Amino acid sequence: MIDEDRPTISSRDERATPRDGPDAIIAAIVASARGALSRANVPAATVVAAGCSSPGPLDHKTGIVLETPNLVGFREIHLADRLAERLGTKVFIDRDTCMAAIAEGMVGAARGAKDFVYVTVSTGVGGSIVSGGRMEPYPHIGRSSFAGRDASSCSEIGHFPVALQLDASRPANDDLPMCGCGSYGCVEAFAAGSKMAEMYGAKDAGEVYAASARGEERATAIVTRAERALANLAVGLVNVLNPSVIVVGGSIAEHQPAHVLEPMRRAISERAFKVPALAVRVEPAALGADVGMLGAVLEARERAAGKGAWFL
Closest Cα partner for 29 from 84, 66, 103?
A: 84
Residue 64 carries which DSSP code? E
pLDDT at position 191:
97
pLDDT in tens, the chain (312 residues): 555 555 678 899 999 999 889 999 999 999 999 999 999 999 999 999 999 998 878 888 899 999 886 788 889 999 999 999 999 999 999 988 889 999 999 999 999 999 999 999 999 999 999 988 887 544 344 333 334 444 333 567 999 999 999 999 999 999 999 888 889 999 999 999 999 999 999 999 999 999 999 999 999 999 999 999 999 999 999 999 999 999 999 999 999 999 999 999 999 999 999 999 999 999 999 998 889 899 999 999 889 988 765 544
Q: Check residue 8 and give its pLDDT.
A: 79
122 contact partners, CB below 8 Å, separation of at least 6: 192, 193, 249, 250, 251, 252, 253
Distance of CA 228 to the CA centre of its chain: 20
DSSP letters for 137-205: --TTS-TT-TTTB-SS-B--GGG-B------TTS-TTTTSPBPTTS-BSBHHHHH-HHHHHHHHT-SSH
> Cβ(299)–Cβ(94) under 8 Å?
yes
- The number of C-alpha atoms within 13 Å of 155 and in the hemisphere containing its C-beta is 31
